Amino acid sequence: MAVKIGILGGGGRMGLALVRQIAATPGAALAGGCERAGHPALGQDLGVAAGLTPAGKLLTADAAALAGAADVLLDFTLPRIVAEHVEMAARIGTPIVVGTTGTEAAEDARIRAAAATVAVLRAANMSVGVNLLLALTRQVAATLDADFDIEIVEMHHRHKVDAPSGTALALGRAAAAGRGIEHDKAAVRGRDGITGERRRGSIGYAALRGGNVAGEHSVIFAADNERVELTHRATDRGIFARGAVTAALWLAGKPAGFYSMADVLGFSA
């Protein structure tokens, strides 16, 4: 039987990309989609909204009903509400894939706590290529010593609300793990004015916003007279939707626990 996938944030750009991906994926079926009260697309057929034939599933504001009807949930919503969605999924017993980024430490703790009750898969980025980049970043950081300064540069579309991106921060954490240092102490998340010289061993971030860029990330290892750069460029949001649906199919039926895309793909990031 097909795995029924519900989309929290079903009326957004990513949500509609997920509708299209579910329709194109053997073994996947659309359970429905949910949006906040007052969203202009409420009541629309999700298939029609995504540019497909009618799906017979309307966009609603009832997240709990969607969770009850789905075998697994996908969350691409907002940082301030994602922890509530995960806790709701835990109460109902529906596994959930979280792609929402930009949460604070308190929300992160709530999401991890819910994994004691239900299967939770969280990834800053669902792309296969980005997860390979995470693994490579950790390996290179472990190989090159602190003579190589680490800088992370990312660019996204003008509508993205958080910076640095969740993927950029995941790359920084991978680099810190490779170096055996504490990320939050090493991170420099912005520079402005007279900042003084660069602190040895720090991990710098730069965030660019503009146009309709789906996502670009570069990890730069810069030493005197040489530089190593690892880069991933996403040209279509569809790669994230494809990875998210793959994750949802993998997670359905899994026991309670906290999972990542590294589990789905079979390698450690």
Nearest to 168, CA basis, from 210, 129, 207: 207
- Residue with tokens 């996947």, as numbered in its chain: 28
In the residue annotation, 57 being an active-site residue is answered as: no
- Residue with tokens 């990309």, as numbered in its chain: 17
In the residue annotation, 185 being an active-site residue is answered as: no
The rounded distance, in Å, linking the Cα atoms of 92 and 115 is: 13
CB of 216 within 8 A of CB of 234?
yes
Beta strands in the chain (DSSP E): 3-8, 28-34, 59-60, 72-75, 96-98, 119-122, 149-156, 187-188, 203-209, 215-223, 226-234, 257-259
Catalytic residue among 160, 185, 217, 232: 160
Catalytic residue among 4, 57, 85, 156: 156
Active site residues: 156, 160
